Structure 1
């Protein structure tokens, strides 16, 4: 069976302190705690501003050996430039320290705003610029702007595939041409539960599945019932075994996914407003029998010696 990664989008939230995080846990130990309560985390600070190589290196050091991070790409590229003239910003992003995650680097998430409409030519130009492995990412990073001189990371460490996931929020993307484009570049369409606010589709366009669960009743706030988590668990098990649920909601049912025995799955809960995300992630891990190897438990002090 392929790996299943279930976790949270971000980890530094004030309301989580004294709830998910035990009372008195130092803020600089929150990642150490969170990365031992779930088995993957989506870094989202990188969406708002470029981070630094030192910060990525610290995140690597603070997490367990078999941990995986996904990285949310900068909104400067997706929301402000809206994919226009993005070569230099792409170079800056990959030079900002992403490669310091080394073997813990998972997919890169590209989230587009609700006002961004599908332009096939523009979108293909963008996908064509994305590095497909860490050696390509390092080569791109070396083309960063001079302002990053002396504070850039440009080493691949070991060459490994680099995967990309695309989250859409406009109905214009719900066309077969978009599915074909993602499949051509082996990018995954994000399966995003957004309480019905934005398009929800489950076309399998890459060799992995990327899920973002923002809340099924109230965006970013509502938790998931045991029944809802059971449904998501069943879907994850189908995708992990290379299958597609029989009731999958597809953009183009005519485009069959490439047959695979397994698919790696990444699932992140983003319903953080009412401190539901970490508990829902943990419940789903338990549902799938993936909690036994985890060393910390939500709201409970870690056992002595568990945290570095």
Structure 2
């Protein structure tokens, strides 16, 4: 590989990928095994919807090759419902589950905040004060006010990664001066559906040279995500 950027998807259980990625006669219970034969990372989003347990993460750990890495999404109870308020214990519990559940296969911990979560100094200070810096923390914002120098400077000082996003309503800057490069492709112009052209992927591939991190395709409501991930992975060899 040119660099140490791992490429994968944000989901794998997808009927649209049958006979495009998954062999037609492959039973769905073997889809993740097949995915792991072609990719060495996966963005685990199930933890966003339901608070995980060590046992659940151990099961995923056991399914994957030795060199496989997971990026794990923080539960919405923390990011969307409490919005980091009065959730020190919850966040500590989540970090512990990640540590003992995923072990050395834990890549990054992803915090995705809702579009209503706009920038304020108090919120920025709260983020910096609550994170556990033993982990690779990545923050994805959905409100454009967070794209500012004060945030970027504070993140760099505290070794927090500002997530690069390809999203219909947000700047599509690829950030390379944080601890990791972490890009989420959500689909533009139609979120979750739109595919990226070869030219767009080539520009990304050139931009990520000599970097370390993760790229995930979340445009998985169609066949676009898997085809884009495979194409970018071929470019990156």
1:67 maps to what in 2? 68
Per-residue deviation, residues 72-114 of structure 1 (Å, max 9, x unmatched): 1111111111111110210232244553211111011111111
1:206 aligns to 2:178 (yes or no): yes
Q: What residue is the counterpart of 1:51 in the other structure? A: 52
Q: Is 1:267 paired with 2:201?
A: no
Deviation at 1:282, TM superposition (A): 0.9
Shift of 1:18: 4.5
- 5 Å-filtered alignment, 1:1-308, equals 2-133=3-134, 162-195=135-168, 197-237=169-209, 241=210, 263-289=211-237
Residue 50 of structure 1: SS of its match in structure 2? coil
Pair member with larger Rg: 1
Listed one character per residue, the Cα deviations across residues 110-151 of structure 1 (whole Å, up to 9, x for unaligned) are: 111111111222332222222222xxxxxxxxxxxxxxxxxx
Distance in 2, Cα, partners of 1:98 & 1:33: 26
SS at match of 2:23: coil
Instruction: Give the superposition deviation at 1:14.
Output: 3.8
Conservation of the 8 A alpha-carbon contact between 1:112 and 1:167 = yes
Instruction: Please give the alpha-carbon distance, in whole angstroms, between the structure 2 residues aligned to 1:175 and 1:168.
Output: 12
Q: Which structure has the highest helix share of the two?
A: 2
Q: Distance in 2 between matches of 1:122 and 1:218?
A: 30
- Length-normalised TM-score, structure 1: 0.72
Task: Kindly indicate whether the alpha-carbon contact (under 8 Å) linking 1:10 and 1:45 is maintained by their aligned counterparts in 2.
Answer: no
CA distance in 2, matches of 1:33, 1:186: 35
Kept in 2, the 8 Å contact 1:36–1:63? The answer is no
Structure 1 residues 241-284: Cα deviation after superposition (integer angstroms, max 9, x where no partner): 2xxxxxxxxxxxxxxxxxxxxx3121001110112111211111
Secondary structure at 1:76's aligned position in 2?
helix
CA shift, 1:2, in A, is 4.4
Give yes or no for contact 1:170–1:199 (8 Å, CA) kept in 2: no
Q: Are the counterparts in 2 of residues 77 and 86 from structure 1 also a CA contact under 8 Å?
A: yes
CA distance in 1, matches of 2:230, 2:29: 22
1:152-206 deviation digits (Å, cap 9, x = unpaired): xxxxxxxxxx2111111112212221112211211111110113x1233334452
TM-score by length of 2: 0.92
Number of equivalences:
236
> What is the DSSP-based 3-state SS (H/G/I as helix, E as strand, rest coil) of the residue aligned with 1:30?
helix
CA contact (8 A) 1:236 1:265 kept: no
- 8 A contact 1:5–1:265 mirrored in 2: yes
Q: CA RMSD in A?
A: 1.8
Structure 1, unaligned runs of 5 or more: 134-161, 242-262, 290-308
* 1-structure distance, mates of 2:192, 2:156: 29
CA contact (8 A) 1:166 1:187 kept: yes
Verify the 8 A CA contact 1:53 1:96 in the aligned structure 2: yes
Q: Note the residue ranges of structure 2 that are not aligned, 5 or more in a row.
A: none
